[in-house]
Structure 1
Amino acid sequence: MNPSKKIFVLYTGGTIGMSQSSDGLRPDTALVGKALQPFSDGMAFDWHICAPLIDSSAVTLADWRAWLALLADKIPQYDGVLVLHGTDTLAYTANMLALALEGLDKPVVLTGAQWPYDAPGSDAPRNLATAVAAFELDWPQVVIAFDGKLFPAVGSSKVSTETAAGFDNLHFGCLAERQGESWAAVSVPTTRSAQPFGVHLPAADAAVVCHTLIPGCAVRQISDGLKHTDAQAVILQSYGHGNAPADAAFIEAVGAYVRRGGLVLNISQVPQGCAAAVYAQGSALRQAGVVNAGKCNLETATALLTLAVSAGWDAEILRGKLQSLGLV
């Protein structure tokens, strides 16, 4: 490992550094002095401690804007970035960083833990070791390091609150797995983008909502909501391959929302699903102007639409972005 590597550490909070309080686990700064000490012979770590540290369930657009603005300044100065983050929304933040950091030429690694660093049997030390080892690979992309594995940010989700295997990427898989002191099953090319480095900040007022289809009255409720929403974009979690009831009022409400300038991104609610033009049942949505998102999951869809409304993309630009990410 190159001892000259300088790593910028963005500590946002999360279970990994929490301590017990009378109200339950809360973010703490005690992690800072010790968590990366075992790796100090190989790398130099410069910490930025967010104030306040947060439980990741409280993350906001303002947090994403602040973190991205900070990374825009720090990334050119360092050999890599380590983000310590709570697991609840870690995959959302990973997707936002992956899509907002353009022309990235060095690794950005996110990790957290299911149990606090000081808890008996905590997964935190292993996750930190995996994250630090990821800098050996020098991949110019955003990855999640968890349970000895590296996952690409795009397509990743939190899949468990019960085990150390908290994350997975059902469409794009695991990029590499740590076995002892070496990496196995490495599957990522190390080519770098020809684009110059840049950062796209989400707008502070970007308004994206998600509606999930379920049997029953959901169609009527979604229809009523679309008539009155001020959201600029909607994620529709539909069935299977992107199917929805061919309810006339629902289809009309979707079409009217699109005609008003709203974006509707159709994703499958199946964890390993693909919203595509497969069944006739989904044709009414397509005709209403909905964009099928292919393999896009909720976390990726959220980041993608947030940036879409921030930059004023239309449906065609959105489709192009989906293609460039290998989602359709």
Structure 2
Amino acid sequence: MTKRIFVLYTGGTIGMSRSEHGLRPDTALVGKALAPFSDSLSFDWHVCDPLIDSSAVTLENWRDWLAILAEKIPQYDGTLVLHGTDTMAYTANILALALQGLNKPLVITGSQLPYDAPDSDAPPNLAAAVAAFSLELQEVAIVFNGKIFPAVGSSKVSTETAAGFDNPHFGALGRWNETDGWHDIQPRPSKLSDGLNTLALNPQAKVVCHTLTPGFAAQHMSDGLAHTAAQAAVLQSYGHGNAPSDEKFIQSVQTFTQKGGLMLNISQVPQGCAAAVYAQGSALRQAGVINAGKCNLETATALLTLAVSNGWTADAVQQKLADLGLV
């Protein structure tokens, strides 16, 4: 029986064409990109209007895409999202966390070069993404450069090569090539589901990121927290979640969390883990910061956006981190 696949085309390099100002999103991809696979799969397209460069993605886009997917996913055997690479990992994480009870594959792909460009990586990425529907996954996954990655923990790691994505903590779920198909598959346990439930996403959710660097950064963050309208913040700290124990800095963090702000502490290290290892990080933990373990920036951003949207407490965020296997 032919599988029915819903395609959400958001834009991105994969379908771009040249203009006098540079590459721009185009609809020409729709009539040809998936035609080579139509003998075994049936594709229904939803073309977003307007198509966007993914660097322009907004919370409104995420809210709208979630609404479309919540309607369409139950009607199809799988979903393919075509997306630009710049924020693909952010979108993959918001979909993975917001689409609760997902029991079908949702595959996201794009490319570093347009579909019609010489030696483009778009055709093989599309072939691998389509082939991924045979794996019967029950989650959101990124397919890129012959690998499939779980959304949670994935990041864009290169603008220069076809190997644009990686998942430093959780690795690839499998590898694909045109000759052998999928191999080196890492089995994932099937999930029990009572049906798809989509979490709310508030386009007015205010989440920011602060990255610590030696020097002025801690003071700048302290000054900013005193006046911020942010409801939640990601703190990219050092190593195992360490930060300066400067009194003003710690006090500003504590004031922010005591007022109800959520602060998620993640490591700047791609394969880092923010945890209670060093005494240097003790003051930060006591100030109400949530240590997010293996959480990367993309997952942290998605998690806090949904936390603000749904009124989660710090304890609820901590539980979600545990459920995701991050702490």
Q: TM-score, normalised by structure 2?
A: 0.99
Indicate the residue corresponding to 1:202 in structure 2.
201
Instruction: Output the amino acid matched with 2:90.
Output: Y
Indicate the residue corresponding to 1:211 in structure 2.
210
Matches for 1:136-147 after TM superposition, within 5 Å = 136-147=134-145
Indicate the residue corresponding to 1:54 in structure 2.
52
Gaps spanning 5+ residues in structure 1: where? Answer: none
Given that 1:82 and 1:109 are in contact with CA atoms closer than 8 Å, whether structure 2 keeps it comes out as yes
Given that 1:69 and 1:201 are in contact with CA atoms closer than 8 Å, whether structure 2 keeps it comes out as no
Instruction: Output the amino acid matched with 1:97.
Output: L
Matches for 1:236-275 after TM superposition, within 5 Å = 236-275=235-274
Q: Does 1:116 align with 2:75?
A: no
Q: Does 1:135 align with 2:133?
A: yes
Given that 2:103 and 2:193 are in contact with CA atoms closer than 8 Å, whether structure 1 keeps it comes out as no
Instruction: Output the amino acid matched with 1:20.
Output: R
Aligned counterpart in structure 1 of residue 77 of structure 2, from 56, 76, 79? 79
Given that 2:237 and 2:265 are in contact with CA atoms closer than 8 Å, whether structure 1 keeps it comes out as yes
Given that 1:104 and 1:193 are in contact with CA atoms closer than 8 Å, whether structure 2 keeps it comes out as no
Mapped partners of 2:19, 2:50: distance in 1? 16
Mapped partners of 1:153, 1:184: distance in 2? 19
RMSD, matched Cα? 0.8
Instruction: Output the amino acid matched with 2:255.
Output: A
Indicate the residue corresponding to 2:15 in structure 1.
17
Cα-to-partner distance string for 1:23-52 (whole Å, 9 max, x where unaligned): 000000010000000000010000000000
Indicate the residue corresponding to 1:175 in structure 2.
173
Mapped partners of 1:286, 1:51: distance in 2? 45
Mapped partners of 1:193, 1:27: distance in 2? 39
Mapped partners of 2:252, 2:194: distance in 1? 40
Instruction: Output the amino acid matched with 2:72.
Output: K
Q: CA deviation at 1:12?
A: 0.2
Indicate the residue corresponding to 2:292 in structure 1.
293
Mapped partners of 2:163, 2:232: distance in 1? 32
Matches for 1:30-41 after TM superposition, within 5 Å = 30-41=28-39
Indicate the residue corresponding to 1:185 in structure 2.
184
Is the partner of 1:228 in helix, strand or coil? coil
Is the partner of 2:226 in helix, strand or coil? helix
Instruction: Output the amino acid matched with 1:74.
Output: K
Cα-to-partner distance string for 1:70-101 (whole Å, 9 max, x where unaligned): 00100000000000000000000000000000
Instruction: Output the amino acid matched with 2:200.
Output: L
Is the partner of 2:193 in helix, strand or coil? coil
Q: Does 1:280 align with 2:291?
A: no
Mapped partners of 1:193, 1:102: distance in 2? 11
Matches for 1:219-234 after TM superposition, within 5 Å = 219-234=218-233
Mapped partners of 1:21, 1:280: distance in 2? 55
Mapped partners of 1:194, 1:9: distance in 2? 23
- Percent of pairs identical after alignment? 69
Mapped partners of 2:191, 2:316: distance in 1? 23
Cα-to-partner distance string for 1:132-163 (whole Å, 9 max, x where unaligned): 00001111100000001100000000000000
Q: CA deviation at 1:196?
A: 2.4
Instruction: Output the amino acid matched with 1:305.
Output: L
Mapped partners of 1:171, 1:194: distance in 2? 26
Mapped partners of 2:20, 2:81: distance in 1? 28
Structure 1, 93-102 or 195-204: larger mean CA deviation: 195-204
Is the partner of 2:304 in helix, strand or coil? helix
Cα-to-partner distance string for 1:170-228 (whole Å, 9 max, x where unaligned): 00000000132421111123513333211112112110000000011001100001000
Cα-to-partner distance string for 1:90-132 (whole Å, 9 max, x where unaligned): 0000000000001001000000000000000000000000100
Mapped partners of 1:214, 1:185: distance in 2? 39
Q: CA deviation at 1:319?
A: 0.5
Instruction: Output the amino acid matched with 2:155.
Output: S
Structure 1, 95-104 or 194-203: larger mean CA deviation: 194-203
Mapped partners of 1:135, 1:193: distance in 2? 19
Instruction: Output the amino acid matched with 2:167.
Output: N
Mapped partners of 1:191, 1:54: distance in 2? 34
Gaps spanning 5+ residues in structure 2: where? Answer: none
Q: TM-score, normalised by structure 1?
A: 0.98
Mapped partners of 1:192, 1:167: distance in 2? 25
Mapped partners of 2:315, 2:116: distance in 1? 49
Mapped partners of 2:105, 2:192: distance in 1? 12
